[in-house]
Chain A
Amino acid sequence: MSNLPISRKCLMWLGALALGLLVVFGLEPSVALAAAEHAADSTAHTFTSKVAGDGGAGKGAAFAFWSFALCAVGGSLFVITRRNMVTAVMGMVGTFFAIAGLYLMLYASFLAVMQVLVYAGAIMVLFVFVIMILNRPVDEPWAVQGILGKAIAALGVLYLFKRLAGILWQVKDTHALVLAKDKLDVEVVLNHSDPELLKDLGVLSIRGLKHADVCKSLFAVCRDNTLNHTVADTVKNAYEFGSVEGVGYTLFSKYLFPFEAVSIVLLVAVVGAIAIARPDKNEPEGEAAKEAS
């Protein structure tokens, strides 16, 4: 694995790209929203040639999605292939940023911010501190000994990849259909912009509007109109789900028990870390040496 020809420059470029995309999409949530809507569609498009033909509007979002995904996977490969630990950690930062971008595309704006603040910010700083304080020499990566173990592991991984590939093939059968159906509903409104119909729906003007704005108007329209129920509800729910309010509400209603139980996990971790790491005051000299000999 350590000889994989991944150029560092290429990865840094990808990281910068991810950061840029994150900034662009992060500034305007509604853009990200619309992008996400289209990314989902376009992802399906990329996989299936059946529905090919349109989707011009989704190309940018699809590009964003695949860039983020590439950054995430590339960054994690970077982490496990570098021998210099600081470099590896930098790869992890790239991965975290890319994942934050993916969260954003999934409407989870709060989670994306937390990902950047907590993981890419605080935890990575800790990582770097620990590595620099310990100042470990460059390490050999851990290797599975024995040809049998390697063979079994290789077979297992191959099987897993086969299964995962199977998933990608299955996506077009189930999800693309659903998406195509939803898309149709949107397009009834967007493309067949019949003034009379739109007036009925309460949308006064549609020309010259960005897709995102139309999406916003659609919420307004669809609150009291059952047409396009699914799309509007999906977008609306997703929009609310990722907000701070939505996360807080879920945390204290449905997920109350896990939320409280996590505090026990943290307590155990803190107490345990102190119990192991604090200096042993009454350690008699030479006992460890006696046992070692």
Chain B
Amino acid sequence: MITIVPNDFLYLGPLAVLTIVGLLLILAEAFAIGKRRRFLMQLTVAGSVMAIFAAIYTWRSIEPGTQISAFSGMLIADRMSMFLCALFAGSTGLIAMLGAAHQREYDWQVGEFYGLMLLAAAGMCMIAMAGDLITIFIGIETMSLAVYVMTAARRRSRRGSEGAMKYFLMGAFASGFLVYGMALLYGATGSTNLQTIRSVLATSQSSSLTVAAIFMLIVAFGFKIAAIPFHMWAPDAYEGAPTPVTAFMAAAVKSAAIAGMIRIFVQALGGAIVPFGQVGWSSIFAIIAAITMTVGNIAALRQDNIKRMLAYSSVAHAGVLLVGLVAAGIAPEGEGLASVLFYLLAYSVATVGAFGVVVWIGNRDRERVLLSDWYGLAAAKPAAAMVMTLFMLSFAGIPPTGGFFAKFFLFKSALMAQDQALLWLVIVGVLNSMISIFYYLKVVMAMYFRDATGEFKPLNSGAVTFVLVLCGILVLQMGMMPTSWLGYLGV
């Protein structure tokens, strides 16, 4: 009955690398008191790069379209999970580079920051590879606990503590919903294995128990991706957290939650096997998606703090991602899944880049997080203004950036699903993209058409510059050659 075979360990590559380097970093921090701390960041980046290579290696060893189950079904290795692992490791590495400069400038050198970040990334990989409800729960908890701590890492900031407290309380509450939902799902199907759940639900008439379980799971994941009406924590936590941590929350944590939703909703409960309106759980998510996009965008219009604005914008992006999930859920054979993954990639790169500029622009005396602080950036620092414009265009979905194709593929897959049942949702989504252009261009206007209020003294850090340049190139590359990426995403 021992079902562990040595081959199972081959698929642990990225997860193992991230965990081991994370543990090393926690140890290293203990011995680094009073010494130079730069090597912590370098080790983090090295670990992330190794994890990316491990993910690519494993990705190549898996045939497209196959799912390999490891550790008696606890993990699933497929191309999608390896792509997501690489995405998580990549954003972690880039954000570590932002973090080092930010820590030095604002003097919050918490050494655990890097170790926790890598362990959080390991948790995300667990979610992406999950084949069982238990794995998903453990992954989400690993990730969430680490991110709560990172949010509070800048301990002298009261806003940081407030945001972390809100995030923690809401997150703990959401975890309760998650466990309850999983327990009910187990009660309904008699298994925690996602594939077994799927086959049980497909053959039996699903009960109200399943519906109650899905209800709970929707609430839990709604909290994690900050979909409305479960978004209350997001603006405060995003604003209060140190900017690199905000980038981590917006890019990596949100992507990981989406990965968990793909595993549970699309792959285990996908199709029409669950009663819930006309198209299963998708009908609830369709409504949440529409509300999330609309309210998120309208709330973002009124913000004059860049971090808060990006927080609401990320709420709106969660809505768009839900549209893709709904499409993938009701038409599993379509391109919904690939389009969601491409959207995650484009969104993560632009998010890391945009928050990178927010890190870059401020200094100890003036953090420059208000929109009025950005007046006249283009005249003083044209290159920075240009990359920020690129990221804003990508968020808004304007060519030639990756964001355009991401939205295009996603809405296309939603339109193709089930005789255009989602036509209204796509129309809402496109209208919302137009609304969002307003506030993204407000940033561009501030940079290009206003006069500066004081001299810009940005952070002088090679790592931050590297991140900005890399993200800028990637955004353009995805906008010009999207098909090459879609090839990698063939799930």
Contacts of B122 in A (CB 8 A): 264
In the complex, per-residue mask of B138-152: 1 if CB is within 8 Å of any chain A CB, else 0: 110110011011001
In the complex, per-residue mask of A212-229: 1 if CB is within 8 Å of any chain B CB, else 0: 000000000000000000
- A170-B208 CB under 8 A given contacts A253-B4, A258-B138: yes
- Residues of A within 8 Å of B, CB-based: how many? 37
Tell me the smallest distance from the CB of A134 to a CB of chain B, in Å.
15
Contacts of A170 in B (CB 8 A): 207-209
The answer on a CB contact under 8 Å between B135 and A257 is: yes
The answer on a CB contact under 8 Å between A258 and B158 is: no
Selected from B1, B156, B209, the residue in CB contact (under 8 A) with A253 is: B1
Chain A residue nearest to B70 (CB atoms) is: A257
Contacts of A269 in B (CB 8 A): 145
Contacts of A253 in B (CB 8 A): 1-4, 72
Contacts of B158 in A (CB 8 A): 288, 291-292
The answer on a CB contact under 8 Å between A268 and B142 is: yes
A13 within 8 A of B: no
A262 to B156, CA, bound (A): 31
In the complex, per-residue mask of A93-132: 1 if CB is within 8 Å of any chain B CB, else 0: 0000000000000000000000000000000000000000
Contacts of A159 in B (CB 8 A): 215
Tell which of B110-118, B319-327, B341-349 binds the partner: B110-118
The answer on a CB contact under 8 Å between B229 and A271 is: no
A276 within 8 A of B: yes
Selected from A255, A261, A280, A283, the residue in CB contact (under 8 A) with B142 is: A261
- A272-B145 CB under 8 A given contacts A166-B208, A257-B71, A261-B126: yes
Within residues 104 to 127 of chain B, which ones have a CB less than 8 A from any CB in chain A?
110, 112, 115-116, 119-120, 122-123, 126
Contacts of A152 in B (CB 8 A): 229
A206 to B145, CA, bound (A): 57
Contacts of A265 in B (CB 8 A): 123, 138, 141-142, 145
Contacts of B1 in A (CB 8 A): 249, 253
The answer on a CB contact under 8 Å between A262 and B207 is: no
B54 within 8 A of A: no
A269 to B212, CA, bound (A): 30
Contacts of B152 in A (CB 8 A): 276
Within residues 42 to 72 of chain A, which ones have a CB less than 8 A from any CB in chain B?
none
A273 to B164, CA, bound (A): 13
Contacts of B142 in A (CB 8 A): 261, 264-265, 268
In the complex, per-residue mask of A262-293: 1 if CB is within 8 Å of any chain B CB, else 0: 10110111011111100010011001100110
Contacts of A276 in B (CB 8 A): 149, 152, 155
- Interface residues of B, Cβ cutoff 8 Å to A: 1-4, 19, 23, 26, 70-72, 74-75, 110, 112, 115-116, 119-120, 122-123, 126, 132, 134-135, 138-139, 141-142, 145-146, 148-149, 152-153, 155-159, 207-209, 211-212, 215, 229
Pick 10 A–B contacts, CB within 8 A, sort by A. A159-B215, A174-B207, A255-B74, A256-B71, A257-B135, A265-B141, A267-B23, A271-B149, A288-B156, A291-B157
- Interface residues of A, Cβ cutoff 8 Å to B: 149, 152, 159-160, 163-164, 166-167, 170, 174, 249, 253-258, 261-262, 264-265, 267-269, 271-276, 280, 283-284, 287-288, 291-292
